[in-house]
C-alpha cells in the first residue's frame, strides 16, 4: 500500500516538473448537454422576441402615440431643462409648447381642408381623365390583370362574385370609424407629450437612481444625452430641410400652374420624413396631378421631373453636408428599420422608423463605448 502511494506521488511530481496538467476531456454526453443548453437559450430568446413583436402589434393603438410623444419630448427636453435652470417651471413650459403645437396643427389642417375637399370632389373627373390618358396602355394592363387572375384562380372553385351594396349610412359609419381612432390617438399623443415634458427631469432622475453602481449611472446619463443629441440633430435638421423642400415644391407647382400649390408643398415636406419611399410617392402624385392638369404628356410629367431634381439635390448634397457624420445612417439599416416598423405599426411606423433606428444606434454605441479597450495614443 505504501509502495503504491509512493508511486502515485512520484508520478504526480514528475508531471508537475515537466509541465503536464490534468485536463478533463468532455465526454459525448457533456457536449450534448452543452448543445441543449445553447439551443434552449436560443429558443428562449426567439420566444421573447416573438412575444415582444406580438405585444407591439396588439398594443400599437396605445404605443404609437406614446412612442411618438417620447421621441418629440426627447428633442424638446433639453430646451425645457435650459429654461428650468433660469427659473421657469417645466410644467408651464410644457403647457405652452403643447398649446403652440396643437394650434399649429389645427391651423394647418384648417388651411388644407378646402383644397383637399376640392380634389375629393373632382375624383370622378380625375379618374375619367386618367382613363383617357392611359387608354393606349389599357390592353397591356388588361392582359397583365388577366394573367394575375388566372394564377390566383388555380386550385380555387369558380364562384359567382358577390355584389356589395354600400349605402350612405355605411359610408358615414366607415368615415366615423376612421376619424374616431385618429382623434383618440391624437388626444393620447397630446396628453403623453404634456406629462412627459412636465416630468421628464424626474423620470430621468428616477431611472438613473434605479441603476446600482456609479459606473452604471454614468453610462445611463451618457446614453440619455447621446440619444437626445442625435435625435435633436436629426429631427431639427430634417425639419428645416423638409420645410425648405416643401417651400421649393410649392413655388415650383405655382410657377408651373398646378392647382393648390400650397397643398403639394406641405405634402412634399411631410413625405420627405420617410427616406426613399416618401419622395417616390410624391413624384407619383405630381405625375398624376400634372397629367390631369395639363393637356400634353411632356407638360404633365414636367412637375414630377423637376421634383426629382429637387429631391436629388436635397438627398445627395444638402442632407449629408448639413447632418454630417454624427447621424450618418446605413441605407440597408434604414430599409430594414422601415420594413420592420411598417410591418408592425403600419404607415405611422414608417414615419417613426428612422428616429427609432437613431435611438437604437445611439444606445448600442454608448454601451459598446464602455466595453472597448482604451488603446494608448
Q: What is the pLDDT of residue 4?
A: 46
Q: What angle do CA 66, 63, 107 make, to 5 degrees?
A: 50
Which residues of the chain have a pLDDT value below 50? Answer: 1-9, 11-12, 14-23, 157-159, 161-172, 174-176, 373-377
* 24 phi/psi in degrees, rounded to 5: -100, 120
Q: What gap in Å lies between CA 73 and CA 78, rounded to an integer? A: 9
Q: If residue 314 lies in a helix (H) or strand (E), which one and from where to where?
A: none
Q: Are 366 and 219 a contacting pair, CB within 8 Å?
A: yes
Q: Are 310 and 245 a contacting pair, CB within 8 Å?
A: yes
Q: What is the pLDDT of residue 247?
A: 94
C-alpha cell at 194: 404634456
Which residue has 402624385 as its cell numbers?
Answer: 285
Q: What is the pLDDT of residue 145?
A: 64
Q: What gap in Å lies between CA 152 and CA 147, rounded to an integer? A: 9
Distance, first Cα to last Cα, the chain: 64
Q: Are 207 and 221 a contacting pair, CB within 8 Å?
A: no
Of 161, 164, 193, nearest to 75 by C-alpha is: 193
Amino acid at each position: 500500500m505504501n509502495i503504491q502511494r509512493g508511486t502515485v506521488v512520484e508520478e504526480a511530481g514528475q508531471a508537475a516538473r515537466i509541465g503536464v496538467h490534468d485536463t478533463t476531456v468532455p465526454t459525448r454526453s457533456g457536449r450534448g448537454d452543452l448543445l441543449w443548453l445553447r439551443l434552449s437559450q436560443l429558443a428562449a430568446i426567439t420566444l421573447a422576441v416573438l412575444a415582444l413583436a406580438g405585444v407591439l402589434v396588439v398594443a400599437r393603438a396605445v404605443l404609437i402615440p406614446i412612442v411618438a410623444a417620447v421621441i418629440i419630448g426627447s428633442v424638446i427636453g433639453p430646451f425645457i431643462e435650459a429654461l428650468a435652470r433660469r427659473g421657469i417651471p417645466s410644467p408651464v413650459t410644457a403647457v405652452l409648447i403643447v398649446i403652440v403645437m396643437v394650434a399649429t396643427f389645427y391651423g394647418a389642417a384648417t388651411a388644407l381642408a378646402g383644397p383637399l375637399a376640392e380634389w375629393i370632389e373632382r375624383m370622378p373627373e380625375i379618374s375619367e381623365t386618367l382613363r383617357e390618358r392611359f387608354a393606349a396602355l389599357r390592353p397591356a394592363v388588361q392582359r397583365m390583370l388577366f394573367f394575375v387572375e388566372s394564377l390566383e384562380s388555380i386550385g380555387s372553385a369558380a364562384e359567382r362574385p358577390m355584389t356589395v351594396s354600400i349605402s350612405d349610412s355605411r359610408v358615414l359609419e366607415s368615415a366615423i370609424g376612421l376619424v374616431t381612432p385618429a382623434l383618440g390617438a391624437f388626444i393620447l399623443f397630446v396628453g403623453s407629450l404634456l406629462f412627459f415634458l412636465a416630468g421628464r427631469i424626474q423620470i430621468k432622475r428616477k431611472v438613473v437612481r434605479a441603476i446600482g453602481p456609479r459606473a452604471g449611472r454614468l453610462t445611463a446619463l451618457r446614453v440619455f444625452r447621446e440619444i437626445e443629441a442625435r435625435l435633436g440633430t436629426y429631427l431639427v435638421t430634417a425639419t428645416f430641410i423638409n420645410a425648405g423642400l416643401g417651400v421649393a415644391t410649392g413655388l415650383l407647382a405655382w410657377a408651373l400652374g398646378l392647382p393648390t400649390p400650397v397643398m403639394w408643398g406641405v405634402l412634399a415636406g411631410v413625405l420627405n420624413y420617410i427616406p426613399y419611399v416618401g419622395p417616390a410617392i410624391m413624384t407619383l402624385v405630381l405625375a398624376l396631378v400634372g397629367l390631369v392638369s395639363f393637356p400634353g404628356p411632356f407638360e404633365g410629367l414636367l412637375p414630377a421631373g423637376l421634383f426629382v431634381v429637387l429631391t436629388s439635390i436635397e438627398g445627395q448634397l444638402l442632407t449629408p453636408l448639413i447632418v454630417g457624420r454624427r447621424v450618418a445612417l446605413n441605407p440597408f439599416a434604414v430599409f430594414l428599420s422601415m420594413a420592420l416598423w411598417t410591418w408592425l405599426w403600419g404607415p405611422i411606423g414608417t414615419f417613426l422608423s428612422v428616429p427609432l433606428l437613431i435611438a437604437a444606434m445611439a444606445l448600442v454605441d454608448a454601451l459598446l463605448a464602455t466595453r472597448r479597450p482604451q488603446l494608448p495614443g
